Structure 1
Amino acid sequence: MVTWNNLDTLASYDKLATMKKRVNIVEAMSGENGADRVARYNAPMAGGLNFNYAAKEVDDTILEALAELAEEAQLVEKFEELYNGAVINTGEKRLVLHHLARRQLGKDVIVDGVNKRDFYVSQQKKAADFANKVHAGEITNAAGEKFTTVVQIGIGGSDLGPRALYIALENWAKVNNTAKMEAKFISNVDPDDAAAVLKSIDVSRALFIVVSKSGTTLETLTNEAFVKDALEKAGLDPSKHMLAVTSETSPLAKSDDYLEAFFMDDFIGGRFSSVSAVGGVILSLAFGPEIFARIFDGAAEEDKLATNKDVLKNPDMLDALIGVYERNVQGYPTTAVLPYSQALSRFPAHLQQCDMESNGKSVNRYGEPVNYATGPIIYGEPGTNGQHSFYQLLHQGTDIVPLQFVGFKKNQIGMDVVIEGSTSQAKLCANVAAQIVAFACGKDDEDNNKKFEGGRPSSIIIGDQLTPESLGALLAHFENKIMFQGFLWNINSFDQEGVQLGKVLAKRVLAHDTDGALKAYSDLLDI
């Protein structure tokens, strides 16, 4: 039986809190000391990835203290309760089953007589069968032509994760001859978003996926109506071009307006839903079901590692523990995610939602205020673009920002050229290596404008190439990191009440039920 306690009540945390600034990262990463750390401070991940934390402000003593914290906080045991079907989402009184959607880790989870694993497998098969029929030309438009484009209409978790995964593999799929359909995404209720997508495609050969778990999401339903209007104006029957991904209890599930409906689950939050039908339908249509299966295979293998009680062999938990040390002991309020891969250009945006919507809480699981910091602010951009943008502040600003790099030895497309003795890929990899050392060690100079203090901690996840398996492992790594940090902070990482108030007030504005500042802003915007 696990116990849920606030972080500041744990004896192991009190011990860890005495170790602030124990490690001088400039000295630790300089010369042969640095070479030794790079060799030793590694944790293998799934998908051929490796988590290297040599440039973090930890040493063996701190790692031992983190292991004690993990044991006292019962992190692995709490994860075991989660995947075995405990009601971990205390705010909504729900199970948390996105791990089960990719593979069974523990015992059967039965809800209202339904084996949830069987449910997820059935929806994966349904999506695969549908995609195969579309690719084979068994499902066509009214003119008997194959569909060539698939458009996802959703917002938040119904958009960010699937979009990031699609962009990550778009070029890989083309090179490996697995690209089946072009994918587009409509999310913003700004009409320019939907209009731009519609003008860029042949709507007569497009399938549109409406994604909303509740079937009541205002932005999504507005964009659905926008698309239906465009289809009707083109002389097309919307019901022959539209699919739904929703819950079985949603109004969308019972509608005849859709060519097919696929079901997501109340026990999977939107930001964790990329491995469910939310991502499965569009990615299976875009790349083929086999490629989507490889993504969640990589995620499932990473989940296995997250069950290991040995902190040094559990990269997801280790990353989470180091992050809590940085947030709560070192006092760093932000984290930058910096993928040195253009294919991961939208991955930081997905993690921004996944982390900040999950752990942006100021009360614990029981609704009681906590008196310590919780989730950090997450942001990021791909390298090397970011180097010519906000890295100035990261290197020489007054705030220390922990960094999480991601890099790959090989590019996806295979095209490259040698310029001045090295390839573009070699230059990319040289830049990420240089940045890690520059942030850690700095540079002394008599001119303070040119002086770099160093001492800026970072980690890097390194892989051979960004593939479906490594992408799945990367996705699961960060999802599990967020989960473990929520456990440590004793907060509910699986609801998102903070997004609701604005929705309620927006409906009041549209109904002209306003007063005070709300009415004044409505007047300013001419609503």
Structure 2
Amino acid sequence: MVSWNNPDTLESWKKLGTLKDSVDLKAVMSGEGGADRVKNYSIPMPAGMTYNYAAKEVDDTVIDALAALADEQELIGKYEELLGGAVINTGEKRLVLHQLCRGQQAGDVMADGVNKREFYLSQQKRVAEFAEKVHNGQIVNEKGEKFTTVVQIGIGGSDLGPRAMYLALENWAKKNGFFKMNAEFISNVDPDDASAVLGKVDVAKSIFILVSKSGTTLETLTNESFVKDALTKQGLDPAKHMIAVTSETSPLAGNSGYLDAFFMDDYIGGRYSTSSAVGGAVLSLAFGADVFARFLDGAAAEDKLALEKDIRKNPALMDALIGVYERNVLGYGTTAVLPYSQALSRFPAHLQQLDMESNGKSVNRFGAAIDYKTGPVIFGEPGTNGQHSFYQLLHQGTDIIPLQFVGFRKSQIENDVVIEDSTSQQKLCANVAAQIVAFALGKDDEDKNKNFEGKRPSSIIAGDQLTPEALGALLAHFENKVMFQGFVWNINSFDQEGVQLGKKLAKKVLAHDTDGALKAYSDLLNI
């Protein structure tokens, strides 16, 4: 059994605090020493990727201290308990089993009298069989026509992860012959969202996935009604155009208003649900079940690597602990995620929810107040677009913001062009390399307006190409990073009470059960 302790009670935490400002990033990244760091401060990842942390403010002394913290806080032991079915989600008294969705070789986990490994595998199989029937024309619309578009209706984790993964693989699938159906997503309760999507698809040839674990999510059910109204107005039976992804106990399960229903459970949080039927249904319909299986294989390989006890061989653990050092010792409160890949355009948005909804806590896992910092603010934008947006602040602003780059040596297309002796992809990669060094070394100039202080820390995950396996490993890397950081901070990374209050007040507003400021704002918005 592991022990759950606040980190500020640990000797390793106190030791780590003595190492503040012990590394001069500008000095260690200069000259041949910098080249050696790039070679040595690197950890292999699955799918041919590498996590490189040479441009972080760490050295062997700091890394040794982080390793000691990992050992004293029993991070790998806690991960092993999670995988074994321990009640890690203390707030809701639940197991945490999202890794089991892609852990085809993992051991059995029993919960509620059910073998969860078999349950998740059975849902994967059902989704795969359904997708195949749609693709081969066994499941068609009322006119006997094949469905050409899939539209996912969901919000939060039912939208952000699946949408980001779809966009990440869309061009790859088209270029490699795996593209089956176009996918669209409706999430915002703002009617402009649903209206815009419905206006650009052939509704009669669209199959809709309603995703709600409880079957009661207000925004999702509202958008479902919007879609059903559009189908009915075209003389179509909504029941022949909709499937549900939900829990077995929700009102959507066994409902005759859907072609079929695929199940998840309370042991998989929304922001961790892309590996389940929440992501599996839309990705299998869009690209085929084999592509989704490859995605799961990449995630499973990263999950296995995350069990490595040597911090220098465990990229997710190293990334997590360096992030803790930056947050709690160096005092950096924000992290920018900067994928130099247009395919990952929505990946930062998914990581915003994954990280901030998980580790945005001010009490520990037992409900006691804590007086140390926890999760940072996460934001990001693909490069090179971000360079022409907020990099000014990153380079010369008063706050130092750690940076996480992601880049690939090859694009997802084959018809790149050579302009001025280099391809577009080479230009993209050149910008990544240049930015990492520019942030670390800066530039001295007598004109202070043109002076760059440097010493802006960054890491990069670099790979050959963004494939399904690489994408799965990338997703699992960040999920496991967030998990390890939550373990360090002794918080519950698997509930989200912070999102509930606003929902409850919104229901009061709609019921006209308001007074005071709530009534005044309701009147202002003419509700």
Contact 2:100/2:117 (8 A) holds in 1: yes
Q: CA deviation at 1:415?
A: 1.9
Q: CA deviation at 1:105?
A: 6.3
What is the match of residue 32 of structure 2? 32
Could you tell which deviates more after superposition, 105-114 or 289-298?
A: 105-114
What is the match of residue 248 of structure 1? 248
Partners in 1 of 2:107 and 2:414 — Cα distance? Answer: 43
What is the match of residue 375 of structure 2? 375
Partners in 2 of 1:456 and 1:340 — Cα distance? Answer: 18
Structure 1 residue identity aligned to 2:254: K
Which consecutive segments of 4 or more residues in structure 1 shift more than 2 A?
104-107
Contact 1:83/1:105 (8 A) holds in 2: no
1:191 aligns with 2:186: no
Structure 1 residue identity aligned to 2:176: N
Contact 1:337/1:379 (8 A) holds in 2: yes
Structure 1 residue identity aligned to 2:392: Q
What is the match of residue 439 of structure 1? 439
Contact 2:107/2:117 (8 A) holds in 1: no
Contact 1:80/1:106 (8 A) holds in 2: no
What is the match of residue 401 of structure 1? 401
Partners in 2 of 1:127 and 1:290 — Cα distance? Answer: 11
Structure 1 residue identity aligned to 2:507: K
Aligned residues: 527
Aligned partner of residue 462 in structure 1, secondary structure: strand
> Considering only aligned residues, what root-mean-square deviation do their CA atoms show, in Å?
0.6
Q: CA deviation at 1:128?
A: 0.1
Q: CA deviation at 1:504?
A: 0.4
Residue deviations 1:281-319, cap 9 Å, x none? 000000000000000100000000000101011100110
Residues 47-446 of structure 1 correspond to what in structure 2 (within 5 A)?
47-104=47-104, 107-446=107-446
Partners in 2 of 1:161 and 1:7 — Cα distance? Answer: 31
Partners in 2 of 1:366 and 1:114 — Cα distance? Answer: 28
Structure 2 residue identity aligned to 1:238: P
Q: 1:105 to 1:145 in 2, by over 3 A?
A: closer
Partners in 2 of 1:418 and 1:136 — Cα distance? Answer: 40
Structure 1 residue identity aligned to 2:64: E
Q: CA deviation at 1:414?
A: 1.6
Structure 1: gaps (5+ residues): none
Residue deviations 1:223-261, cap 9 Å, x none? 000000000000000000000000001011131100000
1:464 aligns with 2:467: no
Could you tell which deviates more after superposition, 358-367 or 408-417?
A: 408-417
Partners in 2 of 1:523 and 1:112 — Cα distance? Answer: 47
Partners in 1 of 2:301 and 2:504 — Cα distance? Answer: 40
Contact 2:338/2:380 (8 A) holds in 1: yes
Structure 1 residue identity aligned to 2:10: L
Partners in 1 of 2:105 and 2:7 — Cα distance? Answer: 27
Structure 1 residue identity aligned to 2:52: N
Contact 1:210/1:224 (8 A) holds in 2: yes
Aligned partner of residue 470 in structure 2, secondary structure: helix
Structure 2 residue identity aligned to 1:231: L
Contact 1:84/1:106 (8 A) holds in 2: no
Partners in 1 of 2:523 and 2:139 — Cα distance? Answer: 49
Partners in 2 of 1:128 and 1:358 — Cα distance? Answer: 30
Partners in 1 of 2:303 and 2:87 — Cα distance? Answer: 19
Q: CA deviation at 1:411?
A: 0.3
Aligned partner of residue 275 in structure 2, secondary structure: coil
Structure 1 residue identity aligned to 2:514: T
Q: CA deviation at 1:16?
A: 0.6
Residue deviations 1:472-516, cap 9 Å, x none? 000000000000000000000000000000000000000000000
Contact 1:303/1:476 (8 A) holds in 2: yes
Partners in 2 of 1:446 and 1:111 — Cα distance? Answer: 66
Structure 2 residue identity aligned to 1:47: A
Partners in 1 of 2:470 and 2:76 — Cα distance? Answer: 23
Q: CA deviation at 1:113?
A: 2.1
Partners in 2 of 1:328 and 1:106 — Cα distance? Answer: 34
Q: CA deviation at 1:265?
A: 1.4
Contact 1:6/1:490 (8 A) holds in 2: yes
Residue deviations 1:94-131, cap 9 Å, x none? 00000111115654211122110000000000000000
Partners in 2 of 1:128 and 1:266 — Cα distance? Answer: 22
What is the match of residue 11 of structure 1? 11
Identity of aligned residues (%): 75
